[in-house]
Structures are given as C-alpha cells and as structure tokens.
Structure 1
C-alpha cells in the first residue's frame, strides 16, 4: 500500500489529507494548534479519530506518544547511543520494537522489525513538490500505525534539526 503525504502535514495547527496511490483521501492528519505540546490526530474519511499523537511532556529526550482509544500504543524516541542522528526506536506496548533509520530530514527512511522492512518513506518515486510517499510493504501491518510513526519521527527530526 502506497500513500502520498504532503509536507505541510507537519505544519503546526494545519490539517492535511493523506491519499492512496489512486488519489483517494484515506487519512486526515489534524494538527492541533494552541497547545503546550505538539498534538495531532489521525482520522479516517468520516472524521473518526483513529490515533492520537502527542509529545510527551517532561521527558529527558524528545518523545512522542501514539494512543488508540485512550490507551498507549507506542512511544517513539531517538536512539540514545546511535552514531546516526536519524535513528529512532518505536516501542510498542506489546514489547515489540521497531527501528526507523535513514535520512529522515530528506524523507528517505525505512521502518524495520528485526531487519525486515515494514515500510519505506521516500521522495524518489514522486514528482510532486513538497510530497513524499510511504510504502507499507507488509499486508498485515496497520497502515494507520505506520503513518502515525512516520508523523512522529518526522516531527522529532524536524525539531532536532531546528535546534541544531
């Protein structure tokens, strides 16, 4: 499954549709402005909230939390001892850990589980400016979760890039 993500998606307080490869609107990322922390909601076409995403307050390192129906689903943070600045760890509540690595600021990265690629984010196969694609390579993966992880990682990397 391939999805098209517009760059303004991560503009604080802005909303943006995520489309499938046929151009159908699949998810809405609703950026919440006027909050103390970065907050997003991933909604379906009917406006139902699928996933809540927010920055964890009072964390030693920048951390994003993904929740579904009020329950924590995943925590995303930069790897502590990574030589690569663009390497993040996704800790799911069931104990599973996903790795996200690559050139995140360039929107060229992969999401992996134990060396198996679950999704690839890239601008290479698109000609549309300010857009990147997310290709979920495993059929059994939750596309909403993968999109949420992508939103979190890009948000964290962009904030880190602004600080440096």
Structure 2
C-alpha cells in the first residue's frame, strides 16, 4: 500500500501545491487557474507531464466539475437541488466513494473493490490529506478525485461567503 500526502498552503494565491510520498519527495504537482474562467486544475507527474485535469463547467444552473485522467473523462461531481444543505453526487463508471467525503474521510472503490482511502490530517497549517493507495493503477484517479472534491468544497465555501456579503 502506497501513502501520499497532499498539503495545501493557507495563503497561496497562485493555487499551486504538491503531492508528496512518505519520503517527502514530490510525486505530483497541482496548479490551479487563478482568476480564470473556466476554473481548472492541472495535475502533473514528476516528469512534469499532465496526467489529470479538472474543469468547473461554466454557465450551468448548478455547479459541475469534470475530471479527466490521461485525456479521458473518468468522473463528474455535480451539485443537486437542495433547500437546506449542499448535496453533491459523484458520477463515475465503476467508481464509488463511501464515507464522509465532505469531511475528507472516505474510501474509494472500483467495481466493489477497495482501491484507496483518504483522511484529513488534523493539527496542520492548511489543508492536509493522507491518501492511501491500495491499487496503484488507480493512483492518479484517486489524487484527481481528492483535488476535485477539495475544489468543490472551496467553491461552496466561496459561494457561501459571497451570499453573506450581499445580505
């Protein structure tokens, strides 16, 4: 089982961070499109080749995020209509997320088989996540999923603070 760590800086305006292994070597580089439409994140491997891409769909009634791995769309995260609490669903062929993904404590299954597990690291400066990869063939997809969920959470937090200022 391989362990990876995602650590985001609290005051990072350029939306860049790395994914490290247990020896603290950089394995993936994540870069967001600061102040651009559509909002995107690019994930590159150690050779600096893009292996995954996350895009927020613009001009849609409800937010949608699309995740591509190696040039193929593997999943989408969509917001559903709800009056009290934000409801999101993850649409992916053969991929299922079980647990509390809003609090970043969940397992990832592919066709019913555990392929990874994600947990939030507490008492750290900024958001830090531990990602345990059971099936290394799914490593890039799991990393992209974590980044996409974190992007959804940031988008939701931004929308909530925008409504607070307008009232």
Same fold (TM over 0.5): yes
Distance of 1:31 and 1:12 partners within structure 2? 10
1:122 maps onto 2:119 in alignment: yes
1:12–1:38 CA contact under 8 A, matched in 2: no
How is 1:5-154 mapped onto 2 (pairs within 5 angstroms)?
A: 5-8=6-9, 13-78=14-79, 85=86, 88-91=89-92, 95-99=93-97, 101-102=99-100, 104=102, 106-113=103-110, 116-124=113-121, 128-130=124-126, 131-136=128-133, 138-154=134-150
Q: How many aligned residue pairs are there?
A: 157
Secondary structure in structure 2 of the residue aligned to 1:147 = helix
Give the C-alpha shift of residue 128 in structure 1: 4.2
1:63–1:77 CA contact under 8 A, matched in 2: yes
TM-score normalised by the chain length of structure 1: 0.76
- Superposition RMSD in Å: 3.1
Q: Map Cα deviations across residues 53-99 of structure 1 (whole Å, 9 max, x no partner).
A: 11112333211112245442322224668x974653132xxx32423
Contiguous gaps of at least 5 residues in structure 2? 161-167
Give the 3 Å change call, closer, same or farther, for CA 89–100 of structure 1 in structure 2: farther
2:97–2:106 CA contact under 8 A, matched in 1: no
TM-score normalised by the chain length of structure 2: 0.75
Q: Kindly name which structure, 1 or 2, has the bigger radius of gyration based on alpha carbons.
A: 2
Contiguous gaps of at least 5 residues in structure 1? none
